[in-house]
Amino acid sequence: MKQVILPELGEGIEGASVTYWYFKEGDTVKEKDDLVELATDKATFNLPSPCSGALKQILRKEGDKVKVGEALATIEEQ
Amino acid sequence: MQFKLFDLGLIDYQSAWDFQKSVFLQVKVKQIHCALILCQHKPAITMGRKSDKGNILADKEDLQRLNIRIFEIERGGEVTYHGPGQLCVYPIVNLAYFKKDINWFLRSLEALILEVLLEFGIQAQTRPGLTGVWVNREKIASIGIAIKSWITFHGLSLNVKSSDLANFSLIRPCGQDIMMTSIENILRERVEIKRVKETLTRRWYETSNFARIG
């Protein structure tokens, strides 16, 4: 099981809000697919899937805040 | 670093948005390194991801009468207005060639605007914790971007002419009670968009953070 982690987005940026999930739980995703869109104050940022597999669990829903280093979802690698 | 320059002139929002996305793909597949798109829009209101519809003050009939369409787009930030007399700059930058840092990119755009305005004799400021450029208490430039695969799109708008500022009263710009200003308003003289474009592109290629690194 692989965790999807919010990476460093830039100096002074502690986190972001989830604005859109491109997939739902159970969907098959490919590595580098746009997985989730997040937003800081003036920027949106698409996080790609770190691997191919099944999107097992979404841990942060649209509207939720997430800090850098925290997990957004888990993917069962294939 | 090579930036391909596209000057689209006066163009409707949808066409410029489509064009941005096509150039984005060219940068993504490394057909071109990076790009700088300049344009002016026919009147349009755009809503970023953080937009609250309540910040559009005009009703549907007013907007129809003024022939202003609303676009819900993927950039960050709140609601803004675009129209002729405002220079829009959409840098399609692969940040992997520079610095994978959203704040670095935003601050670099602000620094560019400050430099350009200074050439016109305008001492502008940024505000800690906020994005954009102000001249005293009025805002002159707004920024809202989107990033996919560390490639940027959307960008900044800089108010040049004083003629079109009235339409900002149709919205609460950036979701705040902000007064907007323009280069012409500050200088109290006529300024051609062409001059601002030339200054901005020269600064982009010669002195901006995008000229220095990469």
What are the pLDDT digits (tens) for B12-59?
999 999 999 999 999 999 999 999 999 999 999 999 988 888 899 999
B174 tagged catalytic: yes
Q: Tell me if B101 and A45 make a contact (CB, 8 A cut-off).
A: no
Q: Does A44 touch chain B (CB under 8 A)?
A: yes
Partnered with residue B158 across adjacent β-strands are B87, B141
Give the residue from chain B lying closest to A10, CA to CA.
B101
| Average pLDDT of the segment spanning B102-130 | 96
Helix (H, G, I), strand (E, B) or coil at B16: helix
Q: Is pLDDT at B213 greater than 90 in this prediction? A: no
Q: Helices B193-206 & B102-119, crossing angle to 10 degrees? A: 130
pLDDT band at B212; cut points 50, 70, 90: low
pLDDT band at A73; cut points 50, 70, 90: very high
pLDDT (tens digit per residue) in A2-61:
999 999 999 999 999 999 999 999 999 999 999 999 999 899 999 999 999 999 999 999
Phi, psi of B144 (to 5 degrees): -155, 125
Q: Tell me if A39 and B50 make a contact (CB, 8 A cut-off).
A: yes
Q: Is pLDDT at B134 greater than 50 in this prediction? A: yes
Q: Is pLDDT at B1 greater than 70 in this prediction? A: no
Q: Of B41, B4, B8, give the one whose Cα is nearest residue B26.
A: B4
- Closest Cβ opposite residue A43 in set B100, B106, B149: B106
pLDDT (tens digit per residue) in B170-211:
888 877 788 999 999 999 999 999 999 999 999 999 999 999
pLDDT (tens digit per residue) in B83-108:
999 999 999 999 999 999 999 999 99
- Closest Cβ opposite residue A10 in set B75, B103, B148: B103
pLDDT (tens digit per residue) in A53-65:
999 999 999 999 9
Q: Does A22 touch chain B (CB under 8 A)?
A: no
Residues from chain A that touch B143, judged by Cβ atoms under 8 A, are 42
Which ranges of B123-206 would DSSP assign to H, the alpha helix? 183-187, 193-206
What chain B holds in terms of domains, given with CATH numbers, is 3-213 (3.30.930.10)
Give the residue from chain B lying closest to A12, CA to CA.
B103
Q: Tell me if B145 and A39 make a contact (CB, 8 A cut-off).
A: no
Which two tokens mark B31?
């057909």
Q: Which residue has the tokens 């770190």?
A: A50
Helix (H, G, I), strand (E, B) or coil at B150: coil
**What's residue B25's pLDDT?**
97
User: End-to-end alpha-carbon separation of chain A, Å?
Assistant: 10
**What's residue B214's pLDDT?**
46
- Closest Cβ opposite residue B102 in set A10, A37, A46: A10
The CA angle A48-A12-A37, to the nearest 5 degrees, is 25
Which two tokens mark A53?
């597999």
pLDDT band at B2; cut points 50, 70, 90: confident
Dist. CA A36–CA A61, nearest whole Å? 10
pTM metric for this prediction: 0.94
Q: Which residue has the tokens 């999930």?
A: A21
Q: How far is A76 from chain B (nearest CA, A)?
A: 22
Question: B88 with B8: CB under 8 angstroms?
Answer: no
Question: b or e along B123-143 (b: 16 or more beta carbons within 10 Å of the residue's beta carbon)?
Answer: ebebeeeebbbbbeebbbbbb
| Average pLDDT of the segment spanning B136-158 | 96
